[in-house]
Amino acid sequence: MKVVISYVLSLVGLGFVVAAVIGAITINLGYPGARLRMMNMLRTSVNQAEIACRAAKHTFYEPIGAAIKIAAMAGTQDLAVLSATTKPGYDAACLAVKMHWMKLFGRGKLGVMMVVGALALVMSTKASPILHIIVAVIAAIAAIWFWVVRNENERSLTLARAELLPELDRAFAEGRYVRPG
């Protein structure tokens, strides 16, 4: 009975890890290229940048989109006022992005714990642990990859605040945003 439970636990744990990795792959956005695209959109058409921000959820584009909304609601071209309004809006939207990544991380961590528990359970019996060891290695590689991608995402949030938010403020101060309607 312990062997069957260990196999089920191992495979379900691997499923949790794979779900977290797939969730990260679908929203992973390489910062250098995405930064250049966003910078170009902010310099040419802020409205186009706003549309792009709506399409890329759970990336650094989402806080930029929130900052665009807040700057549009401010209705001013004063750079100091724009800067004072966009930074808190950006930071608040960053929390939502970080919470989504924490949810994915929690799912992956639960899967890794299941895989480790299954490995410990099969070691206490006389069954062959080959499948469990393979699953544990796959889960460990996936966990390391996920940790690197998550750290890169948090780094991109910080870099975007420093590099893109001033350009957004300048775009609104220079009147490059056209109000719809």
- pLDDT over 90 percentage in the chain: 83
Mean pLDDT of 47-53: 93
What are the two backbone dihedrals, phi and then psi, of residue 171, each rounded to the nearest 5 degrees? -65, -40
Mean pLDDT of 10-21: 94
Q: What is the pLDDT of residue 2?
A: 87
The pLDDT-based confidence of 106 (bands split at 50, 70, 90) is very high
Cα dihedral 73→76→77→82 (10° resolution): -60
Convert the pLDDT of each residue in 116-140 to its tens digit.
999 999 999 888 889 999 999 999 9
The pLDDT-based confidence of 181 (bands split at 50, 70, 90) is low
Distances (CA, A) of 33 to 36, 122, 172, 173: 5, 46, 23, 25
Q: What is the pLDDT of residue 176?
A: 86
129-151 residues labelled b (16+ CB within 10 A) or e (exposed): bebbeebbeebeebbeebeebbe
Convert the pLDDT of each residue in 62-91 to its tens digit.
999 999 999 999 988 999 999 999 999 999
Long-range (24+ apart) CB contacts under 8 A made by 45-48 are: 45/176, 46/168, 46/171, 46/172, 46/176, 46/177, 46/178, 47/177, 47/178, 47/180
How does DSSP classify residue 77?
Answer: -
Among the listed residues 5, 10, 4, 8, the one whose alpha carbon sits nearest the alpha carbon of residue 136:
10
- Return left, alpha or beta for 64; rule: phi > 0 is left, psi -120 to 50 is alpha, else beta: alpha
